[in-house]
């Protein structure tokens, strides 16, 4: 009897050792961050805090109970040594997970996920950002975890419920099951912020929440919501419902770009890292002087789009939407890094067919998110990254994310000059890097002195890099002029995503929300000598419309599966969709003056009237239920259809 009591005490000690750290971290997290809301209609209450802390602690105990069960089973099957080793592994792994989760939540308001492990395959780019957000704490915490693991080893060696383990584990199973059931009644935002991250991740894997379906309307979404307008095309194969052969574009135009029928100008698609519309002068930024003087004058000479949106909240989502004309996959794992040879056809294929020399440039890592594997599979014969830039420019400075943008601009101009000398038209897709956290600029760059600089030092650092990247953009146009290439190049400039700067909910993380500061981005077309009447296009559009716009502007035809509508054409009633599979699983849409946001995880929705409420502070979904319902139906239909097409790989035949 005494030995049994000792075993029970040791078992309880084992469970408590597993539970104490996540419980303490939860108190610190919710005390410093709170429970973030997804929309103005979803504000957390004190009851949510209490429920989160209470049920979260029970989840901590549940994880300890599950770990104990695994150790007892290992002891029976493989012996004491194996059981103790398993206990130490489970403790160290789970507590490292807790520590990463704590740092991410405190710094960025996002929770850890098993899907993030793929980023750890390529840790180098994160080094500078990690030091800024608490890598030192992680290192110290890892020492503590290792020391505590010795205690787990000792307890694991001494725990043995040879006669009573069946009864004990039955009771433990009932306890864990009760906690799982109780979690289902927790508000989704509270569950996101307060749940034990290991417990929550296991639930997500078991329930397969990566591809949850909407309750969509009974419509044919391909015909109603995913069919391009102002475009002459014919469908090719019913097995691939989006695949079509475009013969041209029709209808009244907002602008004209002169390209002779037998002419093949060089084409550059330049994606500016985290270059949000909110801070662009010509798009209404309040900064004096402008933080984007070069973008501003280029917009006044060319065509600028004032209500343009990112289709997702990650660079990899911008790649799929912009280059291939389809909504990015609604999953935590991006298609680019998760399925490199996924069958798609898009702009690089069309330019290849026209005899262009295709190249991808990036002044950051090619191994990160598998760019070096994805782009050669999708129409790019030449792929250059930071290793190439450093070889060409040994003096180049930068951060762990890559070298500064001006070096990239020199490489783009040099490559175009080489292609031009060969008499070969060049097609470049390039992504900049400097406007990425931790927001540093070259020592010799002097940022503008703003009349009313932001009080937030992090925002000031971001604006400095924003100004530097704009300087690099202007430098690129100078290089084109110097090499006699400006009149031979059509330049499309846009951003991959926007970048929130703590103005709402202390948020600096683009992947948390779908507010304007997360998804509204700049887009311009600059082509000296080809645009007689500069234009400002106010119609709503997104990266999904980018491919069709490029094709229309350049007079291109051919096979594609773009679902976007050319922004060169005047088309009433446009709707731009965007999604965010992170945080609380968000879909959003801009339709006219209204902005709609729906959270699958929190089961909440909000409708904002941007004309009356540009800051998105007042939910009017109850006042305008018909508008909210119509946009909700569109979002649900598109989300379901795209999820099905992605799962069935039905965009283009394999090997085309």
* pLDDT tens per residue, range 551-582: 999 999 999 999 999 999 999 999 999 999 88
pLDDT at 185: 72
Q: Quote the CA–CA distance of 350 and 359 in Å, as a whole number.
A: 14
- Residue 186's closest CA among 602, 505, 513, 584? 602
pLDDT for residue 137 is more than 60:
no
Cβ–Cβ under 8 Å, residues 480 and 416: yes
Those residues with Cβ within 8 angstroms of residue 25's Cβ, 6 or more apart along the chain or in another chain? 98, 99, 101, 102
Q: Quote the CA–CA distance of 218 and 126 in Å, as a whole number.
A: 45
**Considering only 170-174, 196-200, 229-233, 493-497, which range has the smallest mean pLDDT?**
170-174
Q: Quote the CA–CA distance of 138 and 142 in Å, as a whole number.
A: 6
The DSSP string of 237-253 is ETTEEEEEEEEEE-S-B
- Section 399-403 average pLDDT: 90
pLDDT for residue 60 is more than 60:
yes
Place of tokens 């004190």: 46
pLDDT for residue 250 is more than 70:
yes
Q: Quote the CA–CA distance of 589 and 412 in Å, as a whole number.
A: 35
Q: Quote the CA–CA distance of 36 and 190 in Å, as a whole number.
A: 8
Using only the alpha carbons of the chain, give its radius of gyration.
27
pLDDT at 216: 64
How many other CB atoms sit within 10 Å of the CB of residue 472? 25
pLDDT at 161: 44
More confident residue, 382 or 9: 382
User: 111-115, 395-399, 491-495: which has the highest mean pLDDT?
Assistant: 491-495
pLDDT for residue 322 is more than 70:
yes
Indicate the pLDDT class of residue 39, thresholds 50, 70 and 90. Answer: low
pLDDT at 102: 82
Run of H or E including 360: strand 357-362
pLDDT at 160: 47
- Residue 64's closest CA among 23, 14, 98, 27? 14
Q: For 458-511, what is each residue's pLDDT tens digit?
A: 999 999 999 999 999 999 999 999 999 999 999 999 999 999 998 877 778 888
pLDDT at 52: 74
**Considering only 52-56, 318-322, 577-581, which range has the smallest mean pLDDT?**
52-56
DSSP-derived secondary structure letter, 540? E
Q: For 590-599, what is each residue's pLDDT tens digit?
A: 999 999 999 8
537 - beta bridge partners? Answer: 305
Phi then psi for 443, rounded to 5 degrees? -60, -30
pLDDT at 128: 63
pLDDT at 57: 87
More confident residue, 22 or 435: 435
Structure tokens at 433: 């890097």
**Considering only 278-287, 392-401, 500-509, 521-530, which range has the smallest mean pLDDT?**
500-509
Q: For 77-94, what is each residue's pLDDT tens digit?
A: 877 777 777 877 888 888
pLDDT for residue 163 is more than 90:
no
Structure tokens at 434: 């400097």
pTM of the model: 0.89
Q: Quote the CA–CA distance of 609 and 591 in Å, as a whole number.
A: 10
- Residue 133's closest CA among 112, 94, 106? 106
Which whole-number Å values give the CA distances from 233 to 68, 223, 267, 334, in the listed order?
A: 62, 13, 24, 30
- Residue 137's closest CA among 109, 96, 108? 96
Those residues with Cβ within 8 angstroms of residue 280's Cβ, 6 or more apart along the chain or in another chain? 291, 292, 295, 296, 522
Which whole-number Å values give the CA distances from 538 to 92, 523, 649, in the listed order?
A: 54, 11, 35
Place of tokens 């052969």: 245
User: 280-284, 436-440, 501-505: which has the highest mean pLDDT?
Assistant: 280-284
């Amino acid at each position: 009897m005494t030995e049994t009591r000792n075993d029970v005490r040791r078992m309880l000690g084992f469970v408590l050792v597993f539970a104490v750290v996540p419980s303490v971290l939860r108190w610190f997290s919710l005390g410093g961050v709170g429970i973030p809301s997804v929309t103005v209609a979803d504000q957390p209450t004190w009851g949510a805090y209490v429920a989160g802390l209470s049920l979260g602690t029970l989840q901590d105990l549940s994880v300890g109970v599950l770990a104990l069960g695994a150790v007892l089973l290992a002891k029976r099957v493989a012996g004491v040594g194996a059981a103790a080793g398993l206990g130490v592994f489970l403790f160290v792994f789970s507590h490292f997970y807790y520590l990463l989760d704590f740092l991410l939540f405190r710094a960025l308001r996002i929770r850890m996920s098993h899907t993030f492990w793929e980023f750890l395959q390529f840790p180098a780019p994160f080094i500078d950002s990690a030091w800024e957000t608490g890598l030192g704490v992680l290192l110290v915490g890892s020492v503590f975890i290792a020391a505590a693991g010795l205690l787990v080893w000792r307890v694991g060696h001494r725990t043995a419920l040879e006669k009573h383990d069946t009864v004990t584990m039955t009771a433990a199973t009932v306890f864990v099951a009760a906690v799982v059931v109780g979690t289902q009644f927790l508000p989704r935002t509270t569950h996101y912020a307060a749940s034990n991250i290991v417990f929550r991740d296991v639930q997500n894997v078991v329930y397969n929440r990566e591809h949850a379906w909407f309750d969509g309307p009974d419509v044919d979404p391909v015909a109603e919501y995913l069919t391009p307008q102002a475009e002459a095309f014919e469908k090719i194969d019913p097995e691939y419902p989006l695949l079509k052969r475009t013969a041209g574009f029709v209808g009244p135009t907002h602008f004209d770009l002169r390209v002779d029928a037998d002419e093949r100008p060089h084409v550059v698609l330049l994606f500016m890292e985290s270059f949000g519309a909110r801070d662009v002068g010509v798009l209404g930024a309040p900064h004096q002087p402008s933080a984007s003087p070069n973008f501003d004058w280029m917009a006044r000479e060319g065509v600028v789009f004032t209500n343009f949106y990112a289709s997702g909240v990650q660079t990899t989502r911008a790649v799929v939407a912009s280059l291939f004309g389809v909504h990015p996959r609604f999953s935590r794992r991006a298609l680019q890094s998760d399925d490199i040879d996924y069958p798609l056809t898009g702009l690089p294929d069309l330019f290849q067919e026209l005899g262009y020399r295709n190249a991808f440039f990036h002044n950051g890592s090619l191994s990160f998110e598998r760019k070096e594997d994805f782009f050669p599979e999708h129409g790019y014969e030449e792929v250059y990254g930071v290793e190439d830039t450093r070889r060409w420019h040994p003096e180049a400075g930068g951060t762990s994310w890559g070298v500064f943008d001006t070096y990239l601009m020199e490489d783009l101009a040099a490559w175009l000059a080489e292609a031009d000398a060969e008499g070969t038209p060049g097609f470049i897709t390039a992504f900049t890097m400097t406007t990425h956290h931790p927001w540093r600029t070259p020592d010799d760059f002097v940022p503008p002195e703003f009349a009313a600089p932001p009080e937030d030092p992090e925002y000031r650092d971001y604006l400095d890099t924003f100004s530097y990247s704009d300087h690099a953009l202007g430098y690129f146009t100078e290089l084109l002029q110097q090499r006699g290439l400006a009149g031979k190049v059509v330049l499309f400039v846009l951003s991959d995503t926007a970048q929130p700067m703590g103005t709402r909910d202390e948020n600096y993380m683009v992947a948390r929300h779908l507010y304007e500061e997360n998804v509204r981005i700049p887009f311009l077309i600059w082509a000296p000598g080809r645009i007689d009447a500069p234009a400002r296009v106010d119609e709503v559009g997104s990266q999904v419309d980018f491919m069709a716009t490029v094709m229309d502007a350049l007079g291109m035809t051919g096979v594609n599966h773009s679902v976007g509508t050319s922004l060169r054409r005047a088309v009433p009633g446009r709707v731009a969709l965007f999604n965010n599979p992170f945080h609380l699983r968000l879909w959003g849409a801009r339709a006219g003056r209204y902005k709609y946001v729906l959270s699958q995880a929190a089961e909440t929705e909000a409708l904002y009237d941007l004309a009356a409420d540009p800051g998105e502070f007042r939910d009017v979904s109850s006042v305008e239920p018909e508008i909210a319902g119509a946009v909700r139906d569109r979002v649900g239909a598109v989300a379901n259809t795209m999820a099905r097409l992605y799962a069935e790989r039905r965009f283009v035949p394999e090997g085309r």
